[in-house]
Amino acid sequence: RSHYLFFNLGGAAHEVGVRQVAHYLWERYGSSHNVKFISVPFEGVVAEIMRSVNHRHWGVVLKRMMLKAAAEIARDYNASGLVMGDAVAQVSSQTLTNLNVVDRASDEVVLRPLIAMDKQEIIRIAKDIGTEPFARNMPEYCGVISSKPVTRAKLHRVEEEEANMDPAALADAIANRTDTMVSQLLDSTQTPEEVELIQTPSVDDVIIDVRHPSEEERSPLTLTNNDVLKIPFYELNQQVAELPGNRQYLLYCDRGTMSRMHAGHLKAEGHGNIKVYAPAV
């Protein structure tokens, strides 16, 4: 039997679609087994990576942190190995060189059934097993994207970067994981809060640019009639609580994925004055 392990990078809204596809797969292919859906809150780890690691190594270090956490959790569940969805060269962290560096983070056996498949073959399989509609409609989390990611990482350099990180970030994420029986996933899943998309903000609205500072520097958001606050998404939860409650705040990012995701998360936590700035293209 296979448990489902999910690293949550973007709050409650990010988890809903993953829960749905995990339940579908279990119900169709594995309902004779009692397995768990394990969710690890990784927002703090992402924030620590972005604060402490050179941006070129973000993707590789994130995968290594996931593998380290997965290995520790696997031991707690007496699991014999880990299964990952990597396919060679699909993204920068999945070159053979980078995968070799990633695998050095753990001694656990790592199985990669998709490793030699191309994208179209993977899409075909997804259609055959019924998961393609989930993937097509599920927003891709784009928080840890570097402008020039390394494709031939050196293990010693990656380990030097990781040494700058606070180890408590990963330890806390592992300690705060939750597990739910997959058979009960939909019972405990909360529908993401719907958030209003605003194309033209009113004069009193405050725009919050949630992009990473390096992304914001490359493409600054300039508005003549509105105040613009620069709060990276990984600091949003902490700083929103300190903002005056008598203003309306519109979250902004280039693709609109992170802004909607975090706006829904904040609204679910009771911040009714949060919406999304979605200017017409």
Q: What is the CATH number of the domain that holds 218?
A: 3.40.250.10
Q: Residue 51 belongs to a domain with what CATH number?
A: 3.40.50.620
Question: Both 177 and 144 in a single domain?
Answer: yes
Question: Both 129 and 68 in a single domain?
Answer: yes
pLDDT for position 6: 96
3-state SS of 58-100?
HHHHHHHHHHHHHHHHHHHCCCCCEECCCCCCCCHHHCHHHHH
Domain end marker among 166, 188, 210: 188
Domain end marker among 188, 208, 227: 188
Question: Both 180 and 204 in a single domain?
Answer: no
Question: Both 25 and 142 in a single domain?
Answer: yes
Question: Both 147 and 212 in a single domain?
Answer: no
Question: Both 108 and 128 in a single domain?
Answer: yes
Question: Both 92 and 220 in a single domain?
Answer: no
pLDDT for position 91: 81
Domain end marker among 128, 153, 188: 188
Active site residues: 253
The tens-digit pLDDT sequence of the chain (281 residues) is 899 999 998 766 568 778 888 989 998 898 899 999 999 999 999 999 999 999 999 999 999 999 999 999 999 999 999 999 999 988 888 899 999 999 999 999 999 999 999 999 999 999 999 888 777 766 666 667 777 899 999 999 999 999 999 999 999 999 999 999 999 887 755 545 678 999 999 999 999 999 878 778 888 998 989 999 999 877 888 889 899 999 999 999 887 877 887 888 888 888 999 999 999 87
Domain count, the chain: 2
DSSP count for the chain of H helices, then E strands: 12, 10
pLDDT for position 65: 98
Question: Both 182 and 231 in a single domain?
Answer: no
Question: Both 178 and 217 in a single domain?
Answer: no
CB 72 within 8 A of CB 176: no
> In terms of residue numbers, what domain contains 164?
4-188
Instruction: Please tell me the distance from the alpha carbon of residue 96 to that of residue 258, in angstroms, as a whole number.
Output: 29
pLDDT for position 140: 65
Question: Both 94 and 56 in a single domain?
Answer: yes
Question: Both 16 and 89 in a single domain?
Answer: yes
Question: Both 46 and 11 in a single domain?
Answer: yes
